[in-house]
Structure 1
Amino acid sequence: MTLPPARGLFLDGVFALFHPPPTVGGGVVVYLPPFGEEMNRARRSIFLLGRALAAGGIGLLALDPRGTGDSAGDETAQRWPVWREDVAAAALWLETAGHPLLGLMGLRLGAALAVDMANPLAAKRLVLWEPLLSGQAQLAHLLRLRTIARRLRGERAEPAASLEARLLAGEDLVISGSVLTAAFASDLRRLAPPLPKTCPIHLFRSREESGEGAGGVEEEAQVTVDRFPAPAFWMLEGKQAAPELIARTTALWSVS
């Protein structure tokens, strides 16, 4: 079977890479990416996932939320309510195009966005890769990255409390080449979406990661937690991928 090629779309300024399902009216999964450089480093794995899903009869719509990637806007456009609107617009586009929304999946901070939009979009399933399910966990991770980067350069590491104070004072910070605005940091502090009770949730964790920001989810009845033997490809330079994770995720969506 010859698969239709992936193609880029602009949905009112929001870029999405669409891996169409091979059949007319086939179902599609919407993918929501991590924040900052993690988004770019995960692109190869997500592209390979899109091809694998298409081979299994399922489409994938991979979003760049506004102010990130190839979408319109600079870092000042990175606001959580705006990103929620972007996801809703993607779901509406799928409906208009005749593709049922099979569910949402997200990596890292994208997992929190998937959780936050599950009920508004009546998602049938959530698949979460190494999720950060609270904005505070994402914020702490970013500040830790900045501290580590300065130490590696032999510079004095500024305490996290000092960095947090600068954000609270309205100052933007550059972290790993990406700008964390004070406004988006404020959004993150308030972010703690509850897990939906209306759909199954499958959570994949790397055996190398501690599961930061996802504590307690195993206690939820609708959550299945699985481990995958892969490096943290979203943090590694080069063409890293996670073939086993991709295969297991594809199989999971195929039985949705």
Structure 2
Amino acid sequence: MNAPLLSLPRVLPFFFDAEPGTRFSLYHAPAPQVRTRGAILYVHPFADELNKSRRMATLQARRFAAAGYAVLQIDMFGCGDSCGDFSSARWELWKRDLEIARAWLAERAGGGPMHLWGIRLGGLLALDFACNAPVDGVILWQPFLNGRTCINQFLRQGLAARMRAGDPALFGTTSQLRADLLTRGMIEVGGYELAAPLIQAIDACDAAALPLPPCQVHWFASASPAPSRLAASAARIAHRWSARGATLHFHAVEGEPFWGANDIVECPALLAATSAVFAPEA
């Protein structure tokens, strides 16, 4: 990375080197007046949910830092303000980005506990990455449990936008879009070019089947209200993960679905619930 390791300001925007190109990052140094608790690496959501989640991610990152955590937010390859086209993004490339970021953040944290913090598809990516990375825990905000579910939802949103445009020639189904993807190797949905290798890798990722190592996982379900079916899903996954020593804690939180709202919205209940677990009052 290009950022110096000493005398960093409390919040530092910078770019770090990662083949290919550079990645935009935002480092939140832990507040100096509190004891250091460890480090938290943020894993952002997919496509436009990244932009809609920035406000909430920044608010929570500030809370983590104020509680003594070193926090790093990055835009992975082809996303946000980092280099590369979204069409060239790959699941494994994103995991390589996370490893570079994790190593840098671990050095900053001075050996404290390392947590991953993922929103939506970023939660599933964080879980997949955790299977082969030295992390102590995972924080999940409204995660997708299955990659195929995420992509189907994204395709449906793209189809809905086409229907609102009013051109019957643009209508279709998710199955037709997937068939086009297989035939052409790439399709455009909602302004994003999706490449077949990325979609296939996401489709293949299933949280329940991941060999998660011994660690603590905190799943915050933020919907209005938090649906009971998510609690049932969490119980089933917790049973599978427990065989390898991972412990899942499910937290139901009522609030706005900030990741999909038309306007940028906040979910104070989610911020409060997360901070209560990871930044308890002294």
Q: Give TM-score scaled by structure 2 length.
A: 0.81
After the TM superposition, which of the residue ranges 131-140 and 95-104 deviates more from structure 2? 95-104
Q: Once superposed, what is the RMSD of the aligned Cα atoms?
A: 2.4
Corresponding residue SS for 1:18: strand
Alignment of 1:3-42 (within 5 A): 5-12=10-17, 13-23=22-32, 27-42=38-53
**C-alpha spacing 1:212/1:72, structure 2 compared with 1 (3 Å):** farther
Matched, 1:86 2:97: yes
Cα distance in structure 1, aligned partners of 2:130 and 2:167: 43
Contact 1:19 1:61 in 2 (8 A): yes
Matched, 1:137 2:137: no
C-alpha deviations, 1:231-250, integer Å up to 9, x for none? 11111233311112112112
Cα distance in structure 1, aligned partners of 2:160 and 2:190: 10
Corresponding residue SS for 1:184: helix
Amino acid at match of 2:252: R
Matched, 1:120 2:129: no
Matched, 1:254 2:279: yes
Q: Give the match for residue 3 of structure 2.
A: none
Alignment of 1:76-225 (within 5 A): 76-99=87-110, 100-156=112-168, 157-193=171-207, 194=210, 196-208=212-224, 216-219=233-236, 220-221=238-239, 222-225=247-250
Greater RCO, 1 or 2 (C-alpha within 8 Å, sep 6+): 1
Cα distance in structure 1, aligned partners of 2:98 and 2:229: 25
Contact 2:223 2:257 in 1 (8 A): no
Instruction: Choose from 265, 273, 280 the match for 1:240.
Output: 265
Q: Give the match for residue 54 of structure 1.
A: 65
Cα distance in structure 2, aligned partners of 1:16 and 1:173: 29
C-alpha deviations, 1:156-212, integer Å up to 9, x for none? 321111101011113422223322222211222222251624112111112337699
Corresponding residue SS for 1:123: coil
Contact 1:112 1:134 in 2 (8 A): yes
C-alpha deviations, 1:53-101, integer Å up to 9, x for none? 1221222211211110111211133101101101110111123334435
C-alpha deviations, 1:87-133, integer Å up to 9, x for none? 11011112333443531110010001110111322321111111112
Corresponding residue SS for 2:259: helix
Identify unmatched segments of 5+ residues in structure 2. 1-8, 240-246
Of structures 1 and 2, the larger Rg is shown by 2
After the TM superposition, which of the residue ranges 80-89 and 209-218 deviates more from structure 2? 209-218
Corresponding residue SS for 1:114: helix
Cα distance in structure 2, aligned partners of 1:77 and 1:249: 34
Corresponding residue SS for 1:34: coil
Sequence identity (%): 29
Cα distance in structure 2, aligned partners of 1:127 and 1:188: 20
Residues matched between the structures, number: 252
